[in-house]
Amino acid sequence: MDDIDRAILNRYQGGFPICERPYQAAAEQLGITEQELIQRLERMLAQKQLSRFGPMYHAERLGGGLSLCAMRIPEDRYEQVTEQVNSFPEVAHNYARDHAFNMWFVLATETPERIDAVLKEIEQRTGFRVYNMPKLQEFFIGLKFEV
């Protein structure tokens, strides 16, 4: 990862230009071409330096469901289960933690009812229980990670 990659990540965690050619506008702000920006993003996604690059929608305001989930995964199965869990399009923000519950992820579904169905599918595919912790109250923190 070079200085331009870091600039892309640091600058666009909190928003992206909204216009007819957003990638072109973002690239101009960085002093690179639109094509170079797209290639860099594709490379960082392919190399798993990024898990996704796109807008974050408020699932509940769009009629969907959102929940924080945790799992207890043995270390020798962690990579395999991570791939299985991440294969679900509803899974975002999957993080390893140094705790008995060592896998945490956010589940965002098209409907609130779909949460239970996806959790059951994850349990069936992985063989491990998923602990569902739905949000009781929302707080906006504005978390950004400087790279």
Give the separation between CA 112 and CA 60, rounded to whole angstroms. Answer: 8
Residue found under tokens 């200085």: 3
Mean pLDDT (the chain) is 92
Name the percent of the chain lying above pLDDT 70. Answer: 99
The CATH topology of domain 65-134 is Alpha-Beta Plaits (3.30.70)
Cα-Cα end-to-end distance for the chain: 10
Residue 14: what pLDDT? 80
Residue 115: what pLDDT? 95
Where do the domains of the chain lie?
Answer: 3-46, 65-134
* Arithmetic mean of pLDDT, 71-98: 94
Tens of pLDDT, residues 6-35: 999 999 988 899 999 999 999 999 999 999
User: What confidence tier does 141 reach under pLDDT thresholds 50, 70, 90?
Assistant: confident
Residue 59: what pLDDT? 74
Tens of pLDDT, residues 53-75: 887 777 777 888 989 999 999 99
* Arithmetic mean of pLDDT, 114-129: 97
Is 107 in contact with 93 (CB distance < 8 Å)? no
